[in-house]
């Protein structure tokens, strides 16, 4: 049953995987709550692997409840797309903050950078260490996409990580989908760039990239192409920080470099360890920052954004797209994970192969080498096809070998010739027999042959039923026959007049004289 408790108010952002809307959740007695509605693009939901991974991770994201993680309230579907209803964070993301500081040519203060990174570590540590409530087994949650757009900061100075439910599913998007993973290559870990299995230490490497970029104000791994970016990540060569920011002390640079170690065994083994190292440095240097200081940064960024776009923000009228999206929200139905139809696909349903699960890129491509082999190794089928083609030949076809069969159009044109005094003397060749002077019905049957096999003379004499032509073909045949009949009648009349007007001696070679 569809739920009508969600209503879209405005579009907030759009990307290669989803678009985000601001909405309102309404319940009994007029209670309203601001929410964020993320709509997964329908093109991605056609990928069964993506949907399976998305539902699997979404079930875990519903259980994540932490102050530094954006809470997910509901997950539903409407026709061919999925929606994620989550907590609305009124503020900016880390990408907007970095872009603003680069534009005004100022770096984020060191103390503020360390505070934001420590808040991120709190949320990641909670997710990484979350265990199953039934048997206390670790769930092994890895975000896999810790990047500036997925770090939100509110007007109250809160720092929250978002999109745990989409991180693993993103790996199942085919590489032929342009724009889906563009821009995220810069925040991969070396082992992820090599296609190896990742764990929580891949998220620690991504946090190290964020800290480096906040301290320097520059991108760490950024090539002209995606391939160059991936190569930079694989090599993991870290330029020195102090030449780019004199406020970075050697002790802090050592912490950053340890988080960005190429070998995951050399990094901090947990997000809590990284948080502890940053807190130790901050407290030893007296770098005091609270949420009020982060809120001031957010306020300044939003104020600058309003100045750039203009004070008065025009109210856009509702478009057809907005109405269609609202109709989809009206049809919103929450996913019931207890329903077998909503369960993620099993491994044997995702792939026909047996044994260990394939890598991410395996199975995304089709090997065409087997197509020709299948065709060449089935002679029996080829022979059956040839016999069926031979059986479809009509009785009017002359019957030479297949390589010598002429196209039907020239053969029909040859049989349409009307016999005259000159071509009567020419004998038709056995390979292309010409019948006697055809009447209107015969010519009409040649020009408009009726579909289906032709009957032999014995079948016609036996009174076999004959297929009746359609009224359209019958009318056309009658018209063609009438025209040809008038032509023949005129030719006969002209011949008769010529015989009477010419001297008798000229007619001797053509007709015998009466004694």
Enzyme catalytic residues: 145
Max alpha carbon distance in the chain (Å)?
Answer: 144
Is residue 36 classed as helix, strand or coil in its secondary structure?
Answer: strand
Q: Residue 221 and residue 238: Cα distance in Å, rounded? A: 9
Q: Residue 445 and residue 514: Cα distance in Å, rounded? A: 40
Tokens describing residue 125: 């540590």
CA torsion angle for 257, 262, 265, 270 (degrees, to 10)?
Answer: 50
How many other CB atoms are found less than 10 A from the CB of residue 394? Answer: 11
178: β partners: none
Spatial neighbors of 403 by CB under 8 A, at least 6 apart, are: none
CA torsion angle for 383, 389, 393, 397 (degrees, to 10)?
Answer: -70
152 φ, ψ (degrees, to nearest 5): -105, 145
Q: Where are the beta strands (DSSP E) in 18-104?
A: 18-26, 32-40, 72-78, 81-87, 91-93
User: If 0-12 CB within 10 Å is exposed, 13-18 middle and 19+ buried, where does residue 463 land?
Assistant: exposed
Closest CA to 268 of 281, 282, 254: 254
Is residue 149 classed as helix, strand or coil in its secondary structure?
Answer: helix
User: Does residue 73 contact residue 152 with C-beta atoms inside 8 Å?
Assistant: no
User: Which stretch of DSSP H or E encloses residue 130?
Assistant: none
**Helix intervals (H) in 392-438:** 408-415
Tokens describing residue 160: 């929250």
Closest CA to 127 of 112, 144, 114: 144
């Amino acid at each position: 049953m569809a739920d009508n408790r969600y209503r879209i108010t405005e579009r907030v952002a759009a990307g290669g995987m989803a678009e985000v809307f601001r909405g309102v959740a309404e319940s009994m007695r007029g209670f309203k709550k601001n929410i964020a509605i993320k709509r997964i693009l329908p093109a991605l939901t056609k990928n069964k692997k993506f949907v399976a991974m998305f539902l699997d991770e979404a079930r875990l994201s519903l259980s994540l409840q932490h102050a530094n993680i954006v809470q997910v309230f509901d997950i539903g579907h409407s026709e061919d797309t999925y929606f994620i209803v989550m907590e609305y964070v009124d503020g900016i993301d880390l990408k907007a903050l970095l872009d603003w500081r680069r534009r005004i040519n100022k770096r984020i203060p060191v103390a503020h950078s360390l505070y934001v990174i420590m808040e991120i570590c709190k949320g990641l540590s909670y997710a990484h260490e979350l265990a199953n409530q039934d048997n206390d087994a670790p769930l092994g949650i890895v975000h896999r996409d810790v990047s500036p757009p997925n770090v939100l900061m509110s007007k109250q100075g809160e720092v929250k990580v978002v999109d745990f439910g989409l991180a693993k599913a993103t790996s199942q998007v085919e590489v032929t989908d342009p724009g889906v993973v563009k821009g995220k290559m810069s925040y991969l870990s070396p082992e992820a760039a090599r296609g190896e299995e990742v764990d929580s230490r891949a998220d620690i490497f991504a946090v190290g990239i964020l800290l480096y970029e906040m301290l320097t104000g520059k991108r760490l791994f950024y090539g002209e192409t995606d391939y160059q970016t991936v190569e930079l990540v694989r090599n993991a060569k870290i330029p020195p920080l102090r030449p780019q920011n004199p406020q970075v002390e050697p002790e802090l640079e050592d912490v950053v470099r340890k988080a960005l170690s190429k070998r995951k065994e050399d990094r901090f083994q947990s997000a809590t360890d990284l948080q502890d190292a940053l807190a130790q440095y901050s407290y030893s240097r007296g770098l005091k920052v609270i949420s009020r200081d982060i809120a001031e940064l957010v306020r300044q960024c939003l104020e600058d954004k309003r100045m750039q776009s203009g004070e008065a923000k025009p109210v856009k009228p509702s478009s057809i797209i907005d109405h269609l999206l609202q109709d989809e929200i009206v049809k919103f139905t929450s996913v019931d994970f207890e329903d077998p139809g909503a369960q993620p696909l099993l491994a044997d349903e995702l792939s026909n192969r047996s044994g260990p699960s394939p890598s991410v890129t395996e199975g995304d491509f089709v090997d065409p080498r087997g197509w020709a082999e299948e065709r060449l190794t089935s002679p029996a089928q080829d022979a059956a096809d040839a016999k069926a083609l031979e059986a479809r030949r009509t009785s009017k076809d002359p019957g030479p070998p297949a390589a010598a069969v002429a196209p039907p159009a020239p053969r029909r044109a040859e049989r349409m010739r009307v016999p005259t005094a000159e071509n009567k003397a020419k004998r038709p060749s056995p390979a292309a027999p010409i019948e006697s002077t055809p009447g209107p019905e015969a010519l009409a049957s040649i020009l408009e042959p009726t579909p289906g096999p032709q009957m032999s003379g014995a079948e016609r004499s036996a009174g076999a039923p004959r297929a009746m032509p359609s009224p359209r073909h019958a009318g056309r045949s009658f018209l063609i026959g009438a025209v040809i009949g008038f032509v023949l009648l005129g030719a006969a009349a002209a011949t008769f007049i010529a015989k009477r007007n010419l001297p008798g001696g000229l007619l001797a070679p053509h007709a015998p004289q009466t004694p």
